[in-house]
Amino acid sequence: MGLDNGFRVKSDKRYLTREMLPEGIVYPFDFEPTEVVYWRKNWGLRNEVMDHFGWRVSDFDQWKFNIESPKGVMELIMIIASFLDPVKWENEGDSIWEFDEIKDVLVQNIVNLALVRSFMEANPDAYLEFYDSF
């Protein structure tokens, strides 16, 4: 099971940079230009996302999966938002992080993804690429 997971904004038609993405996104790293979500050791959240989208570990021959529609991004937002419940986090988070340590990260994930969703509506070539550090 991977330790690091995240989502990057990608396009098969052009190279995207931060300057092309909406203002207001807070990036987890300086070296990943379009990574908008990063999780480390958040296995419960990762597994719920994978289950929802029907992604299987055995399918990781390409090591990544995509969310190609704004509707899919909204589904991802709803999954993350469900983990803002401290009881759910405690019971299903399966993470090294306590709720108080991860809450702000989850909120920023939601903000970033809402901005990406709008970007994808205006840029149909854009999609979210999920990666896992298997």
Q: Where are the domains of the chain?
A: 4-132
pLDDT for 117 equals 98
CA–CA dist 6, 39 (Å, integer): 6
What mean pLDDT comes out for the span 65-75? 96
Contact 55, 130 (CB under 8 A): yes
CA atoms within 13 A on the CB side of 47: 9
CA–CA dist 22, 33 (Å, integer): 13
User: pLDDT tens, 76-92?
Assistant: 999 999 999 999 999 99
Read off the pLDDT band of 13 (50, 70, 90): very high
The string of DSSP codes covering 63-124 is SEEEE-SHHHHHHHHHHHHHTTSHHHHHHH--BSS-HHHHHHHHHHHHHHHHHHHHHHHH-T
Q: What is the pTM of this model?
A: 0.92
What mean pLDDT comes out for the span 5-11? 94
Q: In whole numbers, what is the pLDDT of the chain averaged over residues?
A: 92
User: pLDDT tens, 14-60?
Assistant: 999 999 999 999 999 888 899 999 999 999 999 999 999 988 766 55
Tokens of 1: 């099971």
pLDDT for 56 equals 75
